[in-house]
């Protein structure tokens, strides 16, 4: 096999690059946000791997007449125009369940950091101001709290398990598409109405995919539905929460604190109000990129690309109907 895979940004772990080379597929890295550079590299490419937040549009696909497969960098697929890929006979794959542990752990970390005022404590201990400000400091326990989760898929269910078993939390969840068996196994109380769930939550954690239905699903009305003093964390997708509404709810004091691993756009403009808000704890979209997960995701992507370029169906296709369609680019 002598083929070419364009990697829009390097894979999370070089083991993925090595695996492609071992299969006779030359990885070509485009480490730039410039779509024109990607289009230029795709002219004779057989595969494309893309790392969020870069977006694969129909125009980019049209620059690659020999493109057989596109791989995401993780589970999320909102940065690829899947209908356009299907129309062109291009298979799209993702990596189901690989990020469940690191993202769930990161979400718990954000919850604890908000409740314990971690970033204030670090800064104040370093500059010495902590010792005069500790009196009356408002820090809280996660133990026994009611936490609402939006989205009870792989990550949401893992988060629910950790909250219940490690912190004895009461866990509520809103997910109209949840598998009823999964909810039963995780011991979660499902709520058919989002606003009814929000009114019971000491903390809200986002674990939903980004779709037209979930975009900005947490806005001013939803934040107002949370009890005063609630905490909001998001390690899913930045566009799930209206950030301007969140800033307003934090400034009014209705929301106690927020922990954000994801925002939109990434990065936020330097003058964005949330960046100046001391009630917000940020991490730079690193929830899913532990060393363990990074290697597993890179290997999964390389293996699925290799499988597709051999003319075989990879394990995690998003549009499998393409494979046997008249327009399919499946190698023969």
Catalytic center residues = 237, 266, 285
- List the one residue out of 52, 98, 43, 46 whose CA is nearest residue 75: 98
Whole-number Å distance between alpha carbons of 21 and 5: 10
Please name the residue that has the structure tokens 């870069």.
54
Residue 45 exposure: Cα atoms within 13 Å on the Cβ side: 28
Sheet order of strands, 25-30 included: 25-30, 3-8, 47-50, 69-71, 91-93
> What is the rounded CA–CA span in Å between residue 221 and residue 217?
10
- Tell how far CA 156 is from the center of its chain: 11
Q: Which two tokens stand for residue 283?
A: 């991490």
DSSP bridge pairs for 204? 148, 232
Cα–Cα distance measured from residue 140 to residue 115, given in angstroms and rounded to the nearest whole number: 5
Query: How many angstroms separate the CA atoms of 283 and 290, rounded?
Result: 13
In three-state secondary structure terms, 204 is strand
Count of residues in the chain: 332
List 2's β-bridge partners, or say none: none
Gap between the Cα atoms of 222 and 330, Å rounded: 45
How many beta carbons lie within 10 A of that of residue 74, not counting itself? 22
Element (H, E) at 141: none
């Amino acid at each position: 096999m002598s083929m070419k895979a364009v990697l829009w940004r390097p894979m999370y772990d070089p083991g993925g690059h090595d695996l492609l080379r071992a299969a006779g597929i030359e990885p070509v890295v485009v480490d730039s946000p410039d779509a024109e550079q990607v289009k230029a590299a795709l002219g004779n490419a057989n595969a494309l791997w893309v790392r969020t937040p870069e977006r694969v549009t129909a125009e980019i696909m049209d620059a690659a007449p020999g493109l057989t497969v596109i791989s995401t960098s993780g589970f999320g697929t909102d940065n690829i125009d899947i209908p356009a890929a299907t129309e062109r006979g291009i298979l799209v794959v993702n990596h189901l369940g690989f990020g469940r542990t690191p993202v769930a752990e990161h979400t718990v970390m954000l919850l604890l950091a908000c409740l314990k005022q971690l970033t204030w404590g670090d800064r104040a201990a370093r500059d010495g101001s902590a010792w005069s400000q500790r009196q009356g400091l408002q820090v809280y326990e996660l133990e026994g709290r009611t936490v609402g989760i939006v989205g009870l898929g792989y990550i949401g269910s893992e988060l629910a398990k950790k909250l219940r078993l490690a912190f004895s939390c009461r866990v509520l969840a809103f997910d109209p598409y949840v598998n009823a068996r999964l909810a039963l196994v995780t011991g979660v109380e499902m709520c058919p109405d989002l606003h009814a769930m929000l009114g019971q939550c000491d903390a809200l954690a986002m674990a939903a995919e980004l779709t037209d239905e979930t975009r900005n699903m947490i806005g001013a009305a939803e934040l107002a539905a949370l009890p005063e003093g609630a905490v909001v964390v998001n390690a899913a997708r930045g566009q799930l929460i209206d950030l301007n509404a969140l800033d307003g709810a934090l400034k009014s004091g209705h929301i106690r604190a927020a922990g954000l691993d994801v925002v939109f756009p990434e990065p936020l403009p330097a003058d964005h109000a949330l960046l100046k808000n001391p009630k917000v704890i940020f991490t730079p979209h690193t929830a899913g990129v532990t060393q363990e997960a990074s290697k597993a995701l890179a290997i999964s992507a390389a293996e699925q690309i290799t499988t597709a370029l051999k003319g075989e169906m990879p394990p995690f296709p998003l549009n499998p109907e393409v494979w046997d369609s008249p327009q399919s680019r499946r190698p023969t």
